[in-house]
A and B are shown apart, each in its own frame.
Chain A
Amino acid sequence: MATRKSTAKPNVSKDELLHFYREMLLIRRFEEKAGQLYGMGLIGGFCHLYIGQEAVVVGLEAAADEGDKRVTSYRDHGHMLASGMDPKGVMAELTGREGGYSKGKGGSMHMFSREKHFYGGHGIVAAQVPIGAGLAFADKYLGNDRVTFTYFGDGAANQGQVAETYNMAELWDLPVVFVIENNQYAMGTSVKRATKSPDFWERGAAYGIEGEAVDGMDVLAVKAAGEKAVAHCRAGKGPYILEVMTYRYRGHSMSDPAKYRTRDEVQKMREERDAIEHVRQLLLTGKHATEDELKGVDKQIKDIVNEAAEFAKESPEPDVGELWTDIYAEAIPQGEAI
């Protein structure tokens, strides 16, 4: 990845920078806490942390309007927090408790929020890609001018259903932004061991889809690219691909020993390219905030995360009767489209 470009971005306000700092820090602290709770046995199964990739979803959320939809894979905690979902409900789902977004029945990989237009949380690699196009199809059918952000990783980008979806999305001019979060490893397989066509965004050209690669460690660059992509979709020009170059600091899941990359590689990214540190420096050098003020933000975030963890520990396990609910609906839960 190229070294960081000039950090001078004159048109960024203090409020926006502080918002980015706060949102990204919330995700990082939340994920660190989730890792901790996993280590304590409070979170079970698979748990995929988003640490390192925070600028991707925070930058793109800044480009979204009310009513825009988002759908992603199983590495989904960051997307949920950035879409405004309650950290308490997310953490309680991780611990499998009644207070979780899915009443404890979904877990880390399967959460949804109708209110925040978050359509999951999908556990099968790339399954969310045609689903995202389908959400966009519904919006186009209903003529409501909304855009769907469909997130997937560099691993999913090699799945056949992604190619199938590109073809249909462009054929029908669907308002969908395909966001490829290229964190450079599909579980333990580096991009270069998985494909000889490593510039994933360029694959859209085969279907007539425009796109570009973006520095995913720079939240301002991500937001700017997101705005461009969204404008493309809203103008009725069909889908757009953003390949966001990012990096995950932790293993694929909690049980990943991460022997496929060196400690130095991870450390170098953390020290030189960290997205949160980037915004922190912009705030300090631009004299938008003092060290003390940022410490205050850190404290607020820590409190939110601790509160979420406490809630997630205290919330009871779901009632045993929940075993037999939500298998069939009596009416469509999300309501009929009008």
Chain B
Amino acid sequence: MATEVLMPALSPTMEEGTLAKWLVREGDTVSSGDILAEIETDKATMEFEAVDEGIVGKILISEGTEGVKVNTPIAILVEEGEDAADAEVDTAQSQQPVPKEKRQNSEDQSASGMAHPAPASPGAARDLSPDWPADAEMKTMTVREALRDAMAEEMRSDENVFIMGEEVAEYQGAYKITQGLLDEFGARRVIDTPITEHGFAGLGVGAAFGGLRPIVEFMTFNFAMQAMDQIVNSAAKTLYMSGGQMGCPIVFRGPNGAAARVGAQHSQDYAAWYSQIPGLKVAMPYSAADAKGLLKSAIRDPNPVIFLENEILYGRSFDVPQVDDLTVPFGKARIWREGSDVTLVSFGIGMTYALEAAEALAKDGIEAEVIDLRTLRPMDTATVIESVKKTNRCVTVEEGFPQGSVGNYISSVLMQEAFDWLDAPVINCAGKDVPMPYAANLEKLALVTAKEVIEAAHAVTYR
């Protein structure tokens, strides 16, 4: 039985090539791995090896021929005693080109595929239920205490939850978020790491693949840049790449954004970066109650969660409901203040500027509705859209850089989903487009301010 040898594709993009040189002649015996020919692609000259054993019965394309299409028969291999001229070609064994309809299958159907909503897309059903009972007893506590309590509660209820990071154990946390955890849970579950972000982020991902529920603390998210590959390529994408076989239940948490006077390398807000990645969930709480409820949800989530805290908020106090097992769901914004004149959308520390601006605007007779997104992926754009349908104006507030910001995304969603309701362009208030300066006066200028939010609100309300 003869076998056709076809012009091979030697790179992902090759469609045709030059058959530069034959290294065998008709009548030669070849075995698997022998070099048959040299073929020039658009990138290089490649050696082409035999896959099957046999005798070169006939060379169909002579050397020097240019523009030989991939999958063109270039030679026939025969068995001993066979003649190429009358040999029957075994088409089952020969290298058949891919049927065209199979290759184009997905293109044909792509239109219907694209219509599927993205996981955090607009139009999702809004959850309007309260996060906790209205009559819940309240206790004032700091964001720091709320975060610590959330981890302690989850570690008590699930033996597979552990925390690792720099200075989380004996030092009690660089920002004291893990205070007391070593004493209660011991060194097996509260683990000081060497200063090795890329390494321990990857190790945490492996531990999550292996059935544990790691909380990985970055001393700040600035240092997580060293671990970005493990967060994005390993943690976020493996579920998809494994066809749903292998998930990564892990929380990466730590302070994010500017602290005070620590310069450009320690003062960046990564909210927009992480919120771009399918496979990640991203939370950025403002209040202590949300910090606690969202962190408990994050630890229980079967997916990788980026939990963005803020050093300046750690010491702020808020009322926290004293209920058993306080959790806050992802993808549910919180309306802090209702208003009919303009919608202010923010998250994390941006909420301090938004709320301050709303107070000032009220004195000028402008009633702002203030929405805290709380989670950026999934993002509750439905609540924003509903609000804008009422106020017809929107200002977004965040500390991150302006280009490719969360505000930019919200503006785009509003254009597509609420264009007819908008009475003014959406204004994005963001950090300035500069690395964070050290000097006190310049740092102030680089950050977003309540004053800028107030001015933006006046601009969109034309008063």
Within 8 A of B (CB), among A1-49: 32-33, 35-36, 38-42, 44-46
Does B459 belong to the interface (CB within 8 Å)?
no
Q: Which of A214-222, A234-242, A287-295, A318-326 contacts B (4 or more CB under 8 A)?
A: A318-326
Question: How many residues of A are counted as interface, with CB atoms below 8 angstroms from the partner's CB atoms?
Answer: 80
* Known pairs A263-B35, A336-B160; A39 contacts B10 (CB<8 A): yes
Q: Which residue of A lies closest to B201 (CB)?
A: A130
Q: Which residue of A lies closest to B195 (CB)?
A: A164
A249 to B34, CA, bound (A): 11
Digitize A100-128: 1 where CB-to-B-CB distance is under 8 Å, 0 elsewhere: 11111110001111100001111110010
Residues from chain B with Cβ under 8 Å of A44 in the complex: 12
* Known pairs A137-B203, A138-B206, A323-B113; A106 contacts B98 (CB<8 A): no
Does A213 belong to the interface (CB within 8 Å)?
no
Does B129 belong to the interface (CB within 8 Å)?
no
Does A206 belong to the interface (CB within 8 Å)?
no
A36 to B43, CA, bound (A): 20
Residues from chain B with Cβ under 8 Å of A42 in the complex: 98
Q: Which of A196-204, A252-260, A278-286 contacts B (4 or more CB under 8 A)?
A: A252-260
> CB distance A329 to B239 under 8 Å?
yes
Chain B nearest CB: distance from A34 CB in Å?
A: 10
Chain A nearest CB: distance from B303 CB in Å?
A: 5
A258 to B441, CA, bound (A): 58
Question: How many residues of B are counted as interface, with CB atoms below 8 angstroms from the partner's CB atoms?
Answer: 75
Does A330 belong to the interface (CB within 8 Å)?
yes
Digitize A124-146: 1 where CB-to-B-CB distance is under 8 Å, 0 elsewhere: 10010111111111110110000
Does B172 belong to the interface (CB within 8 Å)?
no
A105 to B112, CA, bound (A): 18
Digitize A141-176: 1 where CB-to-B-CB distance is under 8 Å, 0 elsewhere: 110000000000000000011001101100100000
> CB distance B71 to A123 under 8 Å?
no
> CB distance B202 to A40 under 8 Å?
no
Residues from chain A with Cβ under 8 Å of B47 in the complex: 257-258, 263
Digitize B114-157: 1 where CB-to-A-CB distance is under 8 Å, 0 elsewhere: 00101100000000000000000000000000000000000000
> CB distance B203 to A41 under 8 Å?
no
Within 8 A of A (CB), among B5-63: 6, 8-12, 14, 32-33, 35, 41, 43-47, 49, 51
A41 to B175, CA, bound (A): 55
Q: Which residue of A lies closest to B35 (CB)?
A: A263
Within 8 A of B (CB), among A293-315: none
> CB distance A41 to B281 under 8 Å?
no
> CB distance B200 to A317 under 8 Å?
no
* Known pairs A41-B97, A110-B242, A127-B234; A328 contacts B119 (CB<8 A): yes
Chain B nearest CB: distance from A14 CB in Å?
A: 26
> CB distance B249 to A129 under 8 Å?
no
Digitize B93-117: 1 where CB-to-A-CB distance is under 8 Å, 0 elsewhere: 0011110001001100110110010
> CB distance A327 to B247 under 8 Å?
no
Q: Which of A45, A119, A134, A167 contacts B196 (CB 8 A)?
A: A167
Residues from chain A with Cβ under 8 Å of B244 in the complex: 103, 325-326, 329, 333
Residues from chain A with Cβ under 8 Å of B70 in the complex: 39, 41
A9 to B204, CA, bound (A): 42
Does B318 belong to the interface (CB within 8 Å)?
no
Residues from chain B with Cβ under 8 Å of A136 in the complex: 206
Residues from chain A with Cβ under 8 Å of B105 in the complex: 316-317
Chain B nearest CB: distance from A35 CB in Å?
A: 7
Residues from chain B with Cβ under 8 Å of A323 in the complex: 113, 116
Residues from chain B with Cβ under 8 Å of A249 in the complex: 33
Chain A nearest CB: distance from B230 CB in Å?
A: 6
Does B193 belong to the interface (CB within 8 Å)?
yes
> CB distance A120 to B199 under 8 Å?
no
Residues from chain B with Cβ under 8 Å of A259 in the complex: 44
Does B348 belong to the interface (CB within 8 Å)?
no
Q: Which residue of B lies closest to A318 (CB)?
A: B106
* Known pairs A127-B230, A334-B246; A168 contacts B203 (CB<8 A): yes
> CB distance A106 to B199 under 8 Å?
no
Chain B nearest CB: distance from A25 CB in Å?
A: 11
Does B238 belong to the interface (CB within 8 Å)?
yes
Q: Which of B45, B102, B201 contacts A317 (CB 8 A)?
A: B102
* Known pairs A119-B209, A320-B110, A328-B119; A333 contacts B199 (CB<8 A): no
> CB distance B12 to A110 under 8 Å?
no
> CB distance A39 to B210 under 8 Å?
no
A35 to B9, CA, bound (A): 10
> CB distance A130 to B243 under 8 Å?
no
A121 to B44, CA, bound (A): 28
Q: Which residue of B lies closest to A134 (CB)?
A: B206
Residues from chain B with Cβ under 8 Å of A69 in the complex: 210
Q: Which of B8, B118, B302 contacts A40 (CB 8 A)?
A: B8
Does B207 belong to the interface (CB within 8 Å)?
yes
Within 8 A of A (CB), among B170-200: 188, 193-194, 196, 198-200
Does B279 belong to the interface (CB within 8 Å)?
yes
Residues from chain A with Cβ under 8 Å of B247 in the complex: 329, 332-334
Residues from chain B with Cβ under 8 Å of A135 in the complex: 206-207, 209-210
> CB distance A131 to B205 under 8 Å?
yes
* Known pairs A138-B212, A328-B303; A254 contacts B239 (CB<8 A): no
> CB distance A161 to B199 under 8 Å?
yes
Digitize B213-245: 1 where CB-to-A-CB distance is under 8 Å, 0 elsewhere: 000000000000000011001100011111111
* Known pairs A110-B241, A120-B242, A332-B247; A160 contacts B198 (CB<8 A): yes
> CB distance A105 to B243 under 8 Å?
yes
A123 to B204, CA, bound (A): 18
Q: Which of A106, A134, A164, A168 contacts B241 (CB 8 A)?
A: A106
Residues from chain B with Cβ under 8 Å of A36 in the complex: 51, 95
> CB distance B302 to A332 under 8 Å?
yes
Can you show 8 pairs from A to B with CB atoms below 8 A apart? Answer: A114-B246, A161-B202, A168-B196, A255-B11, A257-B43, A257-B44, A333-B244, A337-B210
A-B interface, 8 closest residue pairs, ranked by CB to CB distance from nearest: A134-B206, A337-B211, A130-B202, A164-B199, A138-B210, A39-B8, A255-B11, A103-B243
**Which residues in A have some Cβ–Cβ distance to B below 8 Å?**
32-33, 35-36, 38-42, 44-46, 69, 71, 100-106, 110-114, 119-124, 127, 129-139, 141-142, 160-161, 164-165, 167-168, 171, 249, 254-255, 257-259, 263, 270, 316-317, 320-321, 323-337
Known contacts A110-B238, A112-B238, A317-B105; 4 additional CB pairs below 8 A are A120-B238, A134-B203, A320-B112, A337-B211
